[in-house]
Amino acid sequence: MKSTYLNLVLAAAMLTQGGINVAQAAGAPMVTFIATPQQLSVNQSASKTVGVSQVGGQSAQVLYGDPTKPGLYTVLLRLEPHKRILPLSHPDSRFVTVLSGTFYIGFGDKYDQAGLKALPPGGIYTEPAHANHFGETRDEPALVAITGYGPSGTTYANPADAPKPGK
């Protein structure tokens, strides 16, 4: 656990201002560096990042590995304020850490605001494979780190809720 957390922190630092802006291949030697959530820059559209909700107002950066292939990966996901993620699941189990802001998460096949739990920075949750979950941000953006073992993907509980390309 300590090693996984250390690797996550080190991988997250890849996005420090002026730092490396490309993903590190899985299995490659990991470089040592440190960053705070405020130093991370996540500004690439999430629209082409596998394993995230694809909701407009998201930015994502693959830090390590490739979520489309078998193996360990880590993705940073930034959600703008007032974004809602409707119930969805992923084929792989994942571990999520809130790095900044407050992220509200719940589990189930239908969106239920009463079932949301507020997770401040340092909050964690798991996304078991194929478990439908939903979430939102409120008045502030949130930055989360998602680590899983791919290949990943996203399936909405109600296919009509899936964002359309370009929206």
Q: What is the pLDDT of residues 3-37, one digit of tens each?
A: 443 444 444 444 333 333 445 555 667 667 687 87
**Predicted local distance difference test score (pLDDT) of residue 31:** 64
**What is the average pLDDT score of the chain?**
82
Domain ranges of the chain: 2-161
Which regions in the chain score pLDDT beneath 50?
A: 1-22
- For domain 2-161, the CATH architecture is Sandwich (2.60)
Please state the pTM of the whole predicted model: 0.79
- Shortest CA distance to 1 belongs to which of 127, 97, 141, 121? 97
Kindly write down the DSSP assignment for every residue of 39-81, as one continuous string. Answer: GB---SBGGG-TTS---TTEEEEEEES-TTSSEEEEEEEEE-T
Rounded CA-CA distance 81/146 in Å is 19
